[in-house]
Chains A and B, each alone.
Chain A
Amino acid sequence: MAEIIQEEKGGGKKKAKKLLPHMDMTPMVDLMMLLITFFMLTTSLSKAKVMEITLPDKITDPNQEAPKISASRTLNIILGPDNKLYWYPGAVKPEDFNNLPPLMETDYGADGVRKLLLERNRTLAKKIDDFKNDVITGKIKIPQDSVASTIRQFGRIDDTGPIVLVKAYKNANYGNFVDILDEMNITGIARYTFMKIAWYEETMVETAAGITSTAQASAN
């Protein structure tokens, strides 16, 4: 609290003393605190980020065929129910529905699908990683905004990495979908797309997850 300190000088005549004007700041501090708390609670500091994806054209013409891709490079990843993740290499034809290959199970962690993808995408991932290191250490001088386009260029000329087809079983959730697309970006997969799940693949998931189709039908 502001107070006037009175001093007696020499005991003689009293003199009006020159005092520094002194203001009490406490209420102001209170007010400021209140405002800061209010702004902290009602605003969001960090801006949300976005992840870009591009879907292929929808095939509307029944005579048009889906683009052919080589089965040896194909890797199918299926998002299963209950946060499970399945994969199989190559392609399955609807004709061999009696003899469907088993699905391999993996998980969303660093030792699961990330390792799986990195093993297959080793050359490209190594190239991108080396390039990024060179940029950081200054061996390659390149403007910051063309780094991403250079990496994309690596992907375009790469012909060893897998072609990943992501498919989702109906019980999967959106978090799984974002996670798997994120893994593609982390491991630098150049070619991936999202597709509708085929009926025989649904059967494969149901076998692997132990859901019987009849149970599924009665649940619906």
Chain B
Amino acid sequence: MPKIKLPTKSPHIDMTPMVDTFAVILIFLLLTSQMRSPEPANVDTPFSISEKPTPDFNMMTFLLSPDGKVFMNFDNGPDTAFKFRPKILSEMGIRYGIEFTENQLREFEKFPSSIGVPILQMKEFLDSQDAEDRKTFQTGIPMDSTDNQLSFWILYARQVNPNIQACIKGDSKTTFETVEKVLDILQEKNVKRFNLITNLETATINLEEIQQ
């Protein structure tokens, strides 16, 4: 019997199934995930067992950074169509006697993350185009008793959007003094229900052990 000689050719792998798989993964990722917007401060939220998802709209988020700065964010979601953000800013402007131009209001509306700029520097902040430049303005919202801008932000946010819910996003290392100040201001403004943003973890309880 003569040996069967296989023709030598370069190995060729059919990539089509691989392309199919990747396409499926890609579509899955596109549909299930949402863009992560860069926050002005890095925050590691603590863990809890709560399974309630974050609301998608009608919320104001207080971002409490580990070094005690407070940033605020309004209505990130589909309700941007109602243009709450520019309304809130122009109310703030009227309160502090600052007039914002159409352009500045639009910049404020478009800004993707939380804002922690003192109102007096807001104009410069909105006018500057450079992201690095803008970062230097993010010094946190003043909230001491002489110049309590945070309480006015809350006031106007609730006037403009009565359904707004308060969410607090804090770092595990944020000192309680900061948290307490924010809670105090919220309480003063009659906001009594908050959502604390956390990550999910599981916990077990052992009832038998304590039955004694």
Task: Note whether A and B form a binding pair.
Answer: yes
Number of A-B contacts (CB under 8 A): 184
- The answer to whether A28 and B48 touch across the interface, beta carbons within 8 angstroms, is no
Contact of B173 among A49, A58, A173 (CB under 8 A): A173
**A173 pairs with B54, CB closer than 8 A:** no
CB contacts (< 8 Å) of A28 on chain B: these are 15, 19
B131 at the interface (CB under 8 A from A): no
Q: Which of A20-69 contact B (CB under 8 A)?
A: 24-26, 28-29, 32-33, 35-36, 39-40, 42-58
Set of chain A residues within 8 Å of B173, measured between Cβ atoms: 173-175
- Contact bitstring B43-59, A, C-beta under 8 A = 1, else 0: 00111111111110000
A46 to B29, Cβ gap below 8 A? no
- Stretch among A85-93, A99-107, A122-130, A207-215 lining the B interface: A122-130
Q: Is the CB of B50 within 8 A of A185?
A: yes
| B132 interfacial contact with A, CB 8 Å | no
Q: Is A118 an interface residue (CB 8 A)?
A: yes
Our pick among A39, A49, A125 for the contact of B197 (Cβ within 8 Å) is A49
Q: Which residues from chain B contact A135 at a C-beta distance below 8 Å?
A: none
A160 smallest CB distance to B (angstroms): 14
Partner of B35, one of A42, A46, A125: A42
Contact of B46 among A1, A25, A179 (CB under 8 A): A179
CB of A39 within 8 A of CB of B19, answer no
**Given contacts A43-B36, A44-B34, A178-B46, is CB(A122)–CB(B176) below 8 Å?**
no
User: Is A182 in the interface zone, CB < 8 Å from B?
Assistant: yes
Q: Does B130 contact A (CB under 8 A)?
A: no
Query: Does B203 have its Cβ within 8 Å of any Cβ on chain A?
Result: yes
C-alpha spacing A50/B55, complex, angstroms: 8
Check B76 for interface membership: any CB of A closer than 8 A. Answer: no
Q: How many chain A residues touch B (Cβ–Cβ < 8 Å)?
A: 60
Decide if B210 touches A119 in the complex (CB within 8 Å). Answer: yes
| A172 vs B188: C-alpha distance when bound (angstroms) | 22
Given the interface pairs A3-B9, A47-B54, the reply to whether A178 lies near B210 with Cβ below 8 Å is no
The tally of residues in B whose CB lies under 8 Å from a CB in A reads: 65
Q: Tell me whether A46 and B200 are in contact (CB under 8 A).
A: yes
Name A116's closest neighbour in chain B (CB-CB).
B210
Q: Which of B161-211 contact A (CB under 8 A)?
A: 167, 169-180, 183, 186-188, 192-200, 203-207, 209-211
Q: Is B19 a contact of A25 with CB atoms below 8 Å?
A: yes
Pair B195/A182 contact, Cβ less than 8 Å: no
Is B26 part of the contact surface with A, judged by Cβ < 8 Å? yes
Contacts of A1 on B, CB cut-off 8 Å?
Answer: 10, 12
B29 touches A50 (CB 8 A): no
Residues of B within 8 A of A168 (CB): 176, 180
Q: Mark A156-178, 1 if CB is under 8 A from B, else 0.
A: 00000000000011111111111
Contact B172 A175 (CB under 8 A): yes
Cα–Cα distance between A170 and B180 once the two chains are bound (Å): 9
- A73 at interface (Cβ–Cβ under 8 A)? no
Q: Are B29 and A182 in contact (CB under 8 A)?
A: no
B33 interface residue (CB < 8 Å to A): yes
Give Cα A110 to B167, complex, Å: 28
CB of A114 within 8 Å of the partner chain? yes
Instruction: Tell yes or no: B94 within 8 A of A by CB.
Output: no
Contact between A174 and B172 (Cβ–Cβ < 8 Å)? yes
On whether the beta carbons of B53 and A47 are closer than 8 Å, the reply is yes
Give Cα A186 to B202, complex, Å. 10
**Given A50-B197, A51-B195, A174-B170, does the pair A32, B188 have CB atoms closer than 8 Å?**
no
Interface residues, chain B, CB within 8 Å of chain A?
9-10, 12, 14-16, 18-19, 22-23, 25-26, 29-30, 32-36, 45-55, 64, 167, 169-180, 183, 186-188, 192-200, 203-207, 209-211
Across chains A and B, which 8 residue pairs bring their CB atoms closest together, nearest first? Answer: A175-B172, A25-B15, A43-B33, A50-B195, A32-B22, A51-B50, A178-B46, A174-B174
- Known: A48-B197, A129-B205, A186-B203; 11 extra A-B contacts, CB below 8 A, are A1-B10, A26-B15, A46-B200, A49-B54, A51-B50, A79-B176, A126-B207, A172-B175, A174-B173, A181-B196, A185-B49
